[in-house]
Structure 1
Amino acid sequence: MPAPSTHKFVRVENIRDDVVILRDGSLRAVLLVSSMNFALKSRQEQEAIVFEYQNFLNSLDFPVQILVNSRLVNIDAYIQNLEKKARQHENELLKLQTQEYVKFIHGFVAEANIISTDFYVVVPFSLVESSLSQGGAGERIRTLFGLGGKAATARRERFVKYEAQLMQRVDFVSGGLHRLGVTARMLSTEELISLYWNMYNPGDLRKRHLVKSIFES
């Protein structure tokens, strides 16, 4: 009896058109959000930000997920580039300074890990159409994307309709975040694949290669 595939534990069914489709038929958009140094703000600024954040949360009539993703950063390529530049310097002083800087970086990395932290807001949209309530999650997916029926064009139009409603939520969330003083950018299909790949493969966080074909049919 073959061992069960780990894919069955992954809730993601597909990623296309910059949208994540889950196995239950619901959609997700992921926003990459910039950060701010709250501690450096004045007391008045901090109070204004907290008040605006409270207003933002109270204005939502749908749930959102706030995700903080920290990972080790591989700076081997950066160090190799510095070493290459050091060898190419004709000015002996610049060469020596670059070599000393590389030595400092090596020592720093040996003592502490370099961590990169990204902030995301996940915006959902659930399919609540009665005609999709039968057949289970797999059937809803096939119905939505025309994998099990004949009217592919109509089903594509249905997906576009749901996607448009998701984008309305994305615009609303982006506007609320902008009023807080941070920027938000929606991840593309390739960026979503890379994000989910790294999250489901934590042992490969140092690998920055984009796996383009994971969710391709």
Structure 2
Amino acid sequence: MEWLFYLVAAAAVAVLLRPAKKKETAQDLFELKEVHPDGLIELPGDKYRLVVEIEPVNLALRSFQEQAAVWTGLRAMLNSLNVPCTFLVQTRHLDLRDYLEDYRRKADECPPHIRSYARSLCDWLQKETEGKHLRDRRFYAILKLDAASSGIEGGVQTDNPALNELVNLLSKAGKTKLPSGELRKLARDTLFEAASVIAGSLGSFEIGARVLDRRQVLEMLYATLNRDLAPFASFTDADRSGAFSLFPVSNTPEVILKGLGSDV
């Protein structure tokens, strides 16, 4: 069987040496096949991802014992995960427009003596933040599972790409592939189980964690791909204006009709 090993090794090297398809745009880096309503991200090749947003905490305000407990709990949580995980820290422009509008709307429902205070507080926040470049940090844990490729257990990769490809090819030999529906269900159960482990472990230290649904995932991708535009046009504003529609509507006919006036 030695010849089979060298044959598979040669095939693996050929795959690695094959020139990768050039990425023309930043969107090409995100090979999304589908983002399901519950937040499950499906990629080509039966690959699945799940994004968990983690609430940031200020460890400097906690005692030495609390800090040690948080780090110990984080280490225990990482050791208990059965899928690969990538942590992402994203810095965004902090837009308080929606927050201030919601604050004013809720203030109008309060009793008169609280309403005046809430409005004055809202006006002060708007004055203090207007024209300033405020930043907001978001922390994410991206859980990954390649359901169709279990050559390397749990998707764990080594530092040698050639070895990773070789082990994957060897493991796929003679393996029966499950239907896509079953793979998707298996991936969903595994990833959400891992997400519950994260939420439960961090919750014991009063650190919030939640799984992003479809709209929240798209909002995160929108802020990632449009770092210059996102501070001025939020995901909601862009959606309302039809920026993501496959059938854009032009205002040119309406402008022309208004310019012609009564001559039409």
Unaligned runs of 5+ residues in structure 1 are 135-142, 145-153
Over the matched positions of the two proteins, sequence identity in percent amounts to: 16
User: Are 1:47 and 2:68 matched, yes or no?
Assistant: yes
Mapping of residues 140-179 of structure 1, within 5 Å: 155-179=180-204
TM-superposed deviation, 1:163: 1.6
Kindly report structure 1 stretches of 4+ aligned residues shifted beyond 6 Å. Answer: none
Letter in 2 for 1:33: I
1:10: which partner in 2?
Answer: 30
In 1, distance between residues paired with 2:181 and 2:54? 30
Aligned to 2:163: none
Q: CA deviation at 1:181?
A: 2.8
| Equivalent residue number for residue 74 of structure 1 | 95
CA distance 1:126–1:155, shift in 2 (3 Å): closer
Summarize the Cα distance change of 1:55–1:117 in structure 2 as closer, same or farther, 3 Å threshold.
same
Structure 2: how far apart are the matches of 1:69 and 1:215?
27
Residue among 214, 230, 251 paired with 1:189: 214
Evaluate the alpha carbon distance shift between residue 40 and residue 10 of structure 1 in structure 2; reply closer, same or farther with a 3 A threshold.
same
Q: Deviations over 1:181-204 (max 9, x none)?
A: 312111111111111111111122
Bigger CA radius of gyration: 2
Contact 1:53 1:180 in 2 (8 A): no
Q: State the AA in 1 paired with 2:30.
A: V
Q: Distance in 2 between matches of 1:115 and 1:170?
A: 27
Query: Match of 1:205?
Result: 230
- RMSD (CA atoms): 3.8
Matched, 1:36 2:78: no
Amino acid at match of 1:57: L
Partner SS state of residue 210, structure 2: strand
Q: Which moved more, 1:207-216 or 1:68-77?
A: 207-216
Is contact 2:50–2:142 with CA below 8 Å preserved after alignment?
Answer: yes
Match of 1:25 in 2: 46
Higher relative contact order (CA 8 A, sep 6+): 1
Q: Report the CA distance shift for 1:45/1:155 in structure 2 as closer, same or farther (over 3 A).
A: closer
SS of corresponding position for 2:50: strand
Question: Whole-Å Cα distance in 2 between the matches of residues 183 and 76 of structure 1?
Answer: 24
Amino acid at match of 2:203: H
Cα deviations by residue, 1:132-178 (Å, 9 ceiling, x for unpaired): x89xxxxxxxx99xxxxxxxxx5334322322222222222222222
* Residue 104 to residue 58, structure 1, CA distance change in 2 (3 Å): closer
Unmatched tracts of structure 2, length 5 or more: 1-23, 152-167, 170-176, 247-264
Aligned residues: 184
- What are the equivalent positions in structure 2 for 1:87-166 lying under 5 Å apart? 98=120, 102=123, 105-106=126-127, 108-110=129-131, 112-127=132-147, 128=149, 155-166=180-191
Determine helix, strand or coil for the equivalent of 2:137: strand
Task: Output the TM-score relative to the length of structure 2.
Answer: 0.56
Q: Which amino acid aligns with 2:202?
A: L
Counterpart amino acid of residue 40 in structure 2: V
